[in-house]
Each structure stands twice: as C-alpha cells, then as structure tokens.
Amino acid sequence: MTDLLTIGETMVSLRTARPMRLGGDAHLSIAGSESNVAIGVARLGHQAAWVGAVGNDEPGRLIQRTLRAEGVDTSRVRFSDESFTGFIAFDQPSHDITRVSYHRRGSAGSTVTADECIAALEATRPRLLHVTGITPALSATTRAATLAVVQNAFAAGVQVSLDVNYRARLWSRSDAATALRELLPHVHTVFSSDDELDILTDAPDAVADLLDAGSVDQVVVTAGGKGAWAHTASGTIHRPAFPVTVVDSIGAGDAFVSGYLSATLDNLSADSRLDRATTSGAFCVTATGDWESLPTRPDLTLLTHTQGTALR
C-alpha cells in the first residue's frame, strides 16, 4: 500500500543565472508540480508514487532516473514513441525575477489517460491522492483522466487533495473554474493561494463556502511572505513565513504541500501540519531548483538554528 499517489506531467528543466538569450552555462534537471510533491513526501520518509507519460527519449530517461533516485515509485510511468518529453526553461532577466518558458504542447505528458490513472490507483492503493490544476489544463484527455481518478479515489475512501496551481499560460480562469469545480465534490483538502480562491467559488466568503458545501474539510491558503492559513470546521490556524533569505521561490508551493501531506500521513494535528508545511516551503526557497533543497526528516529542525550557524 502506497502512502501517496500523484499524477501529472514532469518536464526536463533548463536554468540559466542570466537572460537565456545571452547563452552561457545552463543547469539541467527536472521539474513538475506533482513530482515535486512526490519527492518531498518521499524525502520525509513516506512511500510515494508518480504516474505520468514521458517520451521514449533521453529526457524521459532522465526524469525516470531522477525520480527513482529520490525514492519515488515510477513503475506506472509510460514511455511514448509517438510524443516527446516536454521541457521548461527558467532564466533571470533580473536578480530577483525568474522568467519561465514552456515547451510542452503535444508532449507525452498531455496524453495520460483515465484508464492509466485508474489502473495506477487500483495497483498502488494509496492513502492519499494528490492532483493539481495543471494536469487538467494540458488537454481534454488529461482533464478527463484527472476527473476520473479523483472520482474513483473518493469512492474508494482515499483522501484526495487538490492544489489549484493556476497557470495563465495554459488556460483562462473561467476554463480553470469549470474544470476544477467538477473535482470539488470528490476532494477533501484544497490548497490555494489567496488570489486563486475565486476560481473555486463565486461566494463572497470563499473559504466558508468550500467548507460548507460537499466533501472539503480543509482549506489551506498561502500568501507568500504573509504566511499560510489552515481553515477547518474547528477554526483557523495561521503560521507566518519563516524568516529565511529567499534565493529562488520556484517550487515553494509544492514544498509546502509536501510538508502538509507528510504531516497528514503522520496523523499530526492541524498545527503540526501547518508547521511542517511552512518549514518545507522555507527550505525550498533557500536554494535554486524546484525540489533539490527539499528537506529530509532529520533536516526539519535545522531552521531553528540562527542563520549562519555551523553545525560541527
């Protein structure tokens, strides 16, 4: 039995420390919201599986190898001879601004089917299923796959979490609202930034509406440097952001989610879930990369030390 199952597209990533048009050295890695969460959960000591499709090419093999090395189960990954592995490029036109370019239209990741996802759900029997608003934005096929796996997981008694993760380059807010609201009757935990809540509901009090209607029993809202809030029927808990030096904010949301889901798997209290989530998010922003600086379980206490401390 797997602790966490997640589905989505993982891409090869290229990063430069200056505008890419100037050339120079680039760092090669992988990136994908759902696989970032799987890596984060695996590093914290849980069994995580990722389902997706990649091209039958060297970039696809890099993704498989990297996830395997991080302890993520990739046994349900499909290698496609018809489609390519997508990639994403990050460059920095300014020292504190990251620019993102996608090269994914028609990629293997956009061909993941409902049958594949349901088969993975039945094979892994996860305690948690995690999906994002990115996957249903990729194609009609992946939208149907996301809805089907969420419905089947919910019917099987699996806890389902949804991270809105809105991407304006993939679809409009109205299209996102239509698709994600279809998922809500089968979701237990919602992760959203404070400016994404209106995608899920038109109600003036979005959090109250989500908690009052359907199956959602936790609404976790992030607001960058202002911290995060966990809302349940029992009340609201807030945690400020950790006072760390931000090097790269890309992937912080996925890190936050991985910490929260890890604590959920450990049956921790709402306070402790939010503590682990903010700690994991803080680790992510202190170094470059989507997932590279995610903490292991022994790392979780390191941020209690004063910055600059040498542990000898």
The pLDDT tens digits of the residues spanning 218-233 come to 999 998 888 899 999 9
Q: What is the pTM of this model?
A: 0.94
| DSSP code per residue over 13-45 | EEE-SS-GGG----EEEEE-HHHHHHHHHHHTT
Expressed in percent and rounded to 5, the helix, strand and coil fractions of the chain are 40, 25, 35
Q: Which residues sit opposite 79 in a β-bridge?
A: 54
123 pLDDT above the threshold of 70: yes
What is the C-alpha to C-alpha distance for residues 220 and 55, in angstroms, rounded to an integer? 35
Per-residue pLDDT, averaged over 120-143, amounts to: 98
54 pLDDT above the threshold of 60: yes
Contact 19, 144 (CB under 8 A): no
Condensed to tens digits (0 to 9), the pLDDT of residues 159-204 reads: 999 999 999 999 999 999 999 999 999 999 999 999 999 999 999 9
Kindly list the structural domains of the chain, giving each domain's residue range(s) and its CATH number in brackets, ordered by start: 33-82+113-299 (3.40.1190.20)
What mean pLDDT value characterizes the chain?
A: 92
Closest CA relative to residue 162, chosen from 190, 199, 128, 185: 190
Amino acid at residue number 305: H
Amino acid at residue number 81: D
At 311, the pLDDT band (50, 70, 90 cuts) reads low
| Per-residue confidence (pLDDT) for residue 282, from 0 to 100 | 87
Active-site annotation holds for 254: yes
At 34, the pLDDT band (50, 70, 90 cuts) reads very high
Cβ-count burial of 61 within 10 angstroms (0-12 exposed, 13-18 middle, 19+ buried)? Answer: middle
| Per-residue confidence (pLDDT) for residue 312, from 0 to 100 | 56
Q: Give the torsion sign (CA, 5, 246, 276, 227).
A: negative
Candidates 73, 254, 275, 290; catalytic one: 254
At 262, the pLDDT band (50, 70, 90 cuts) reads very high
